[in-house]
Amino acid sequence: MERRRVAVVVGAHGVIGGKLVEHLKETGGWDIVGLSRRGGVDDGRVRHIAVDLLDTKDTYEKLASLHDVTHVFYAAYQDRPTWAELVPPNLAMLTNVVDALEAASDNLEHISLMQGYKVYGAHLGPFETPARESDPGHMPPEFNVDQQTFLETRSVGARWNWTAIRPSVVCGYRLGNPMNLATVIAVYASMSKELGVPLRFPGARGAYSSLLEMTDAGLLAEATVWAATTPECAGQAFNINNGDLFRWETMWPRIAAYFDLPVAAPLHMSLSDTMADKESLWNSMVDRYDLAPTAYADVAAWPFGDFVFGWDYDFFADGSKARRFGFHRYVETEKMFTDIFSDLRRRRVIP
């Protein structure tokens, strides 16, 4: 008889968490509980719980009935204005989840922590590339590091183990998410076409020629579940990326071609500022092309686009450790982008 696994996906409505829920459903053999602030509609073996993870009492009360949890996939995130301010809420949420589920479930086996290249200082400026899981740490604050330290300490003598998953920029389908580059590009290109202007790369001058990589949300979901269910991976961190590198100077014309747009020379601009007055344009496009009614505030996270397009240094990590442990999936980044754009068209998010 197949062993029953029960997964709690924390941050179930994000790009990463949403794809994890989908992957676990498709894989079969899992009962799934999705945690988020707004909850959701239960669907078959997927149950949703609305919970404020910053509220210790609410977390304990809402998770008290989860007696059979075997795996936790932690992909929640609270944004704050500064790096230092990110630490308390993000560490508190993880702590509350672990405390509550340890108390509720005697079956807990594994906690998977979603991190990123901030562990390597990638958000601060040029860092050593390719970054490796064994690289030395950097001056705090960094909430990803504090979260991992918490799991390392807490797991000593516990019945569960952990893994840390470190993707690059994650691309997939999810609206209203602060970290979704694919929709930023898709909406920016669609508006450029509507206005009859060429597709210009809006990032910093050096960013156009820097070497970087992406992580497909589907590949990330597969890798995360693989690591959580492979005993040899316990207590390990893994870089997870598509497996290829690119420069915007070669990728940008290909993206433009997908949208039937000419390319002009890069022009450094703040998308947050430049796109601030485009709500009326977006609303007119929704009406003109009979798009799915999506609020302008939810369709694209311009500050995140500014952040990624501002990297005027190489941004990539060594993904060979995961391959050495047995994960060999690969995604071609150009195809990832075009597949997401096509999916957004099928969903009538963009024309």
Strands annotated E in the chain: 5-10, 30-36, 46-50, 71-74, 110-114, 161-167, 169-171, 214-216, 236-240
The whole-angstrom separation of Cα 288 and Cα 273 is: 25
Nearest-CA neighbor of 175 among 351, 350, 9? 350
Query: For residue 31, what are the contacts with CB-CB under 8 A and spacing of at least 6?
Result: 4, 5, 6, 7, 45, 47, 68
Question: What whole-number distance in Å separates Cα of residue 281 and Cα of residue 269?
Answer: 19
Residue numbers in the chain where pLDDT is lower than 70: 1-2, 178
Q: Rounded distance, CA 160 to CA 102, Å?
A: 9
How much is the pLDDT for 1? 44
Q: Do domains 5-169+216-240 and 175-213+245-346 have the same CATH topology?
A: yes
> What does the radius of gyration of the chain's CA atoms come to, in whole angstroms?
20
The CATH number assigned to the domain with range 175-213+245-346 reads: 3.40.50.720
Write down the CATH number for the domain with range 5-169+216-240.
3.40.50.720
* pLDDT at residue 2 in the model: 60
CA 79/CA 86 separation, integer angstroms: 6
Give the relative orientation of helices 181-195 and 248-258 as an angle to the nearest 10 degrees: 60
Q: What is the pLDDT of residue 176?
A: 75
Three-class DSSP category at 177: coil
Cβ atoms within 10 Å, residue 11? 24
- Report d(CA 64, CA 66) in Å as an integer: 6
**Of residues 43, 106, 22, the one with CA closest to residue 69:** 106
Among all chains, which residue has been given the structure tokens 């609206």? Answer: 175
Tokens (6 digits) for 108 = 């807990």
Q: Give the Å distances, CA to CA, from 47 to 25, 43, 59, 145, 187.
A: 12, 7, 16, 30, 32
Q: First vs last Cα of the chain: how many Å apart? A: 49
DSSP state of 246: B
Structural domain boundaries in the chain: 5-169+216-240, 175-213+245-346
Q: What is the pLDDT of residues 93-102, one digit of tens each?
A: 999 999 999 9
Q: How many CB atoms lie within 10 A of CB 270?
A: 15
Contacts of 186 (CB under 8 A, 6+ apart): 300, 340, 341, 344, 349, 350
Q: What is the pLDDT of residues 115-151, one digit of tens each?
A: 999 999 999 999 999 999 999 999 999 999 999 999 9
What's the token pair of residue 180? 């979704």
In percent, the amount of the chain with pLDDT more than 70 equals 99
Average model confidence (pLDDT) across the chain: 96
Q: What pLDDT, on a 0 to 100 scale, did the predictor assign at position 303? A: 96
If we measure between CA atoms, which residue out of 69, 9, 56 comes closest to residue 35?
9
The single-letter DSSP state of residue 205 is G
> Amino acid identity, residue 304?
F
Tens of pLDDT, residue by residue over 287-331, are: 999 999 999 999 999 999 999 999 999 999 999 999 999 999 999
